[in-house]
Amino acid sequence: MVPEAELQQTEHGLVPKGPGWYVLNARDASWSGAEGRGAYSQLEGEPGFDQLGISLVTLAPGDAMAMYHWEEDEEDFLVLAGEAVLIVEGEERPLRAWDFVHCPPGTKHVIVGAGESRCLIVAVGARDKSVGENWGGYTVDETAAKYSASADEATTKPPEEPAPKAPSIPGPTELVSLRIPRDVLDHFQEDGPGWQDRIIAALRKAAGV
pLDDT digits (tens, 9 = 90+) for 18-59: 989 999 999 899 998 888 889 999 899 888 999 999 999 999
- pLDDT at position 68: 96
Question: Residue 12 carries which DSSP code?
Answer: T
Tell me the pLDDT band of 186, cut-offs 50, 70 and 90. confident
Tell me the pLDDT band of 181, cut-offs 50, 70 and 90. confident
**Entry pTM:** 0.76
Task: Give the closest residue to 141 by CA, choosing from 72, 60, 99, 86.
Answer: 86
Q: What is the pLDDT of residues 113-142, one digit of tens each?
A: 999 889 999 999 999 988 888 899 999 999
Residues near 195 by beta carbon (within 8 Å), at least 6 away in sequence: 185, 188, 189
Is the pLDDT at 202 greater than 90? The verdict is: no
Cβ atoms of residues 33 and 166 within 8 Å: yes
Peptide bond connecting 47 to the previous residue in cis, omega within 30 degrees of 0: yes
Q: What is the pLDDT of residues 65-93, one digit of tens each?
A: 999 999 999 999 999 999 999 999 999 99
Give the Cα separation of 182 and 72 in Å (integer). Answer: 49
Is the pLDDT at 162 greater than 70? The verdict is: no
- pLDDT at position 130: 84
- pLDDT at position 79: 97
The CATH class that applies to domain 6-165 reads: mainly beta
Give the Cα separation of 198 and 200 in Å (integer). Answer: 5
Cβ atoms of residues 139 and 108 within 8 Å: yes
Give the Cα separation of 71 and 109 in Å (integer). Answer: 9
Give the Cα separation of 83 and 72 in Å (integer). Answer: 27
DSSP-derived secondary structure for 87-102: EETTEEEEEETT-EEE
Residue ranges of the chain assigned to CATH 2.60.120.10: 6-165
Cβ atoms of residues 38 and 58 within 8 Å: yes
Task: Give the closest residue to 35 by CA, choosing from 140, 160, 175.
Answer: 160
- pLDDT at position 2: 94
Question: Residue 55 carries which DSSP code?
Answer: E
- pLDDT at position 169: 54
